[in-house]
Structure formats: C-alpha cells, structure tokens
Amino acid sequence: MTNPYSFRVAKIVITSEATVRKLCDELLKQSQWFSVLPMPDDAWELTVKEENQARLHGWLQSNLTITSL
C-alpha cells in the first residue's frame, strides 16, 4: 500500500490493547502525530512519523508486545 501522507512514516503492530492505549496516551501528551488501525486478534497497527520511531521503540523496551515492524 502506498503512503497517503506527505511525510515518511514508521509502522508497528502491537498485540495488546492495554499497551496501545498507554502508548497512544503518551503520544497525545507529547502532541505527536499518530494513527491506529485495529486488526484481528487484539492486534493494533500503530503509525508514527519516521522521526518518532526511536522514541516509540524506546517506550516499548519495557513492553514486549511487538509482533512485527
């Protein structure tokens, strides 16, 4: 699928609703752009600006619920 945004993005699949809620809360507190796509089996595709990919991975270091990058 082509990127519909005018900037580069990074996507990650998270397999816990609780984790994705916490992460979205953190991104909102920091006024960061993101999008969330619910998927089957309690999986969530989270998209952030590429410049925030390192921040995303840093936050997830203590939450090992990543299934793919």
User: What is the secondary structure of the chain as a DSSP string?
Assistant: ----SSS-EEEEEE--HHHHHHHHHHHHHTT--EEEEEETTTEEEEEEEGGGHHHHHHHHTT---EEE-
Q: pLDDT tens string for the chain (69 positions)?
A: 566 667 788 898 998 888 899 889 988 998 999 999 999 998 999 999 988 888 887 877 765 545 554
Does pTM surpass 0.75? no
Domains of the chain: 9-68 (3.30.70)
